[in-house]
């Protein structure tokens, strides 16, 4: 019998990917149309078992070597140790509608859902920042050197201005709403690999890469001001410039560029890749909700595997 359930949304990075790994700011927002869910059940036998029926995977103590769910076994064990409940047997069943390896934070969302489920099962409270911090354990296993932006935005479940190692700041949204269409290229792209390649390229040409990171980060600060007091056309300019910078970092791909060009040709105010790049999702900013549905269809026609929408607004 399921004792408790934890849920968490996906996310997109509006501006700041890659630069955020090097200490520059980024803006991220939750995407509530996609979710991870963890069902927690007490069992007679001590130890943690994690099942992901959608992936056909199961892992438990001693066989937590599954690349895809082993890190969640260890995360659950850490949470039980934190609560002094190691003697308790727990089975956790994971489900997620968040595309994997596509820049929408599926790993961080599953970790946050799992931790929320465990908190609820044991009647414990952890703050959003404590959950974000704990979820970094599995994020490090998946991504190597994550900035922490995914965990922060998903655990807080609100748009954030994020600088690595500092407390995330909520974003103030002014009178305008900002509507985004998110399109998945269908190309899985593991974040760890792209981040490592960018790091290796930076080692070969630090001056060039650090200058680009600085400019990406300053775009995040400009975007924060636009969201506070400006409008979608200005944010669109910021997004286009950010995508140009990400291309200079070498993290776009033909599939991403094709969807971005299609979005701009069909009237998007701005478009860019979101997340690590080389695959995964792109995001496009539209003027109003009629444009949203039309552009979603155009992006499906242009080859997107799946399309989502999300709105950044003050109410």
Token representation of residue 301:
């026609």
Burial of 130 (0-12, 13-18, 19+ CB in 10 A): middle
Q: What are phi and psi of 166, to 5 degrees?
A: -115, 165
Q: Enumerate residues 95-134 that contact ligand MEV by CB under 6 A.
A: 103
Report if residue 282 touches ligand MEV, rule: CB under 6 A: no
Nearer to ligand MEV, 25 or 270 (CB): 25
Helix (H) or strand (E) run with residue 133 in it: helix 128-143
Residue nearest to ligand MEV (CB): 147
By CB under 6 A, which span of 40-48, 71-79, 142-150, 151-159 interacts with ligand MEV?
142-150
DSSP letter assigned to residue 20: G
Report if residue 147 touches ligand MEV, rule: CB under 6 A: yes
3 state SS of 150 = helix
Kindly state the smallest distance separating residue 31's Cβ from ligand MEV, in Å: 12
Size of residue set near ligand MEV by CB under 6 A: 15
Q: Count CB atoms within 10 A of the CB of residue 194.
A: 23
Among the listed residues 4, 8, 13, 113, the single contact to ligand MEV using CB under 6 A = 13
By CB under 6 A, which span of 129-137, 139-147, 213-221, 290-298 interacts with ligand MEV?
139-147
E runs forming strands in 139-280: 160-162, 169-170, 178-184, 270-274
Among the listed residues 150, 234, 255, 291, the single contact to ligand MEV using CB under 6 A = 150
Token representation of residue 238:
């910021």
Kindly state the smallest distance separating residue 144's Cβ from ligand MEV, in Å: 9
Report if residue 20 touches ligand MEV, rule: CB under 6 A: yes
By CB under 6 A, which span of 13-21, 122-130, 224-232, 258-266 interacts with ligand MEV?
13-21
Report if residue 152 touches ligand MEV, rule: CB under 6 A: no
E runs forming strands in the chain: 4-15, 26-43, 47-52, 57-60, 89-96, 160-162, 169-170, 178-184, 270-274, 281-286, 306-312
User: Residue 263: CB partners within 8 Å, gap ≥ 6?
Assistant: 181, 183, 271, 282, 284, 295, 298, 299
Kindly state the smallest distance separating residue 238's Cβ from ligand MEV, in Å: 17
CA torsion angle 20 142 98 278 (round to 10) = 60
Among the listed residues 6, 9, 15, 17, the single contact to ligand MEV using CB under 6 A = 17
Kindly state the smallest distance separating residue 185's Cβ from ligand MEV, in Å: 15
Report if residue 29 touches ligand MEV, rule: CB under 6 A: no
What is d(CA 27, CA 46) in angstroms, rounded to the nearest whole number? 41
Among the listed residues 21, 38, 110, 176, the single contact to ligand MEV using CB under 6 A = 21
Q: List contacts with ligand MEV (CB under 6 A).
A: 13, 17-18, 20-21, 103, 143, 146-147, 149-150, 191, 195, 275-276
């Amino acid at each position: 019998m399921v004792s408790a359930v934890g849920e968490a949304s996906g996310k997109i990075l509006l501006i700041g990917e890659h630069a955020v790994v090097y200490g520059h700011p980024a803006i991220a927002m939750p995407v509530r149309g996609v979710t991870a869910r963890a069902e927690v059940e007490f069992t007679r036998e001590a130890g943690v078992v994690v099942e992901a029926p959608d992936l056909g995977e199961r892992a438990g103590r001693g066989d937590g070597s599954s690349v895809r769910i082993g890190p969640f076994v260890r995360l659950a064990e850490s949470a039980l140790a934190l609560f002094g409940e190691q003697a308790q047997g727990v089975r956790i069943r994971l489900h997620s509608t968040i595309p994997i390896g596509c820049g929408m934070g599926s790993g961080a969302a599953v970790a946050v859902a799992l931790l929320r489920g465990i908190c609820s099962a044991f009647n414990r409270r952890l703050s959003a920042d404590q959950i974000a911090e704990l979820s970094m354990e599995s994020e490090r296993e998946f991504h190597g050197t994550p900035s922490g932006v995914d965990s922060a935005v998903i655990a807080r479940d609100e748009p954030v201005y994020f600088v690595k190692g500092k407390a995330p700041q909520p974003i103030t949204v002014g009178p305008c709403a900002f509507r985004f269409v998110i399109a998945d290229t269908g190309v899985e792209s593991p974040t760890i690999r792209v981040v490592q390649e960018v790091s290796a390229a930076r080692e070969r040409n630090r001056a060039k890469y650090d200058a680009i990171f600085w400019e990406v980060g300053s775009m995040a600060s400009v975007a924060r001001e636009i969201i506070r007091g400006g409008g979608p056309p200005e944010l669109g300019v910021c997004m286009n410039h950010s995508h140009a910078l990400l291309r200079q970092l070498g993290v776009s791909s033909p599939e991403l560029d094709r969807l971005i060009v299609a979005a701009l040709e069909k009237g998007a105010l701005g478009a860019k890749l979101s997340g690590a790049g080389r695959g995964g999702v792109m995001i496009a900013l539209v003027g109003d909700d009629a444009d949203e549905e039309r552009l979603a269809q155009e992006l499906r026609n242009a080859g997107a595997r799946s399309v989502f929408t999300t709105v950044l607004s003050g109410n």
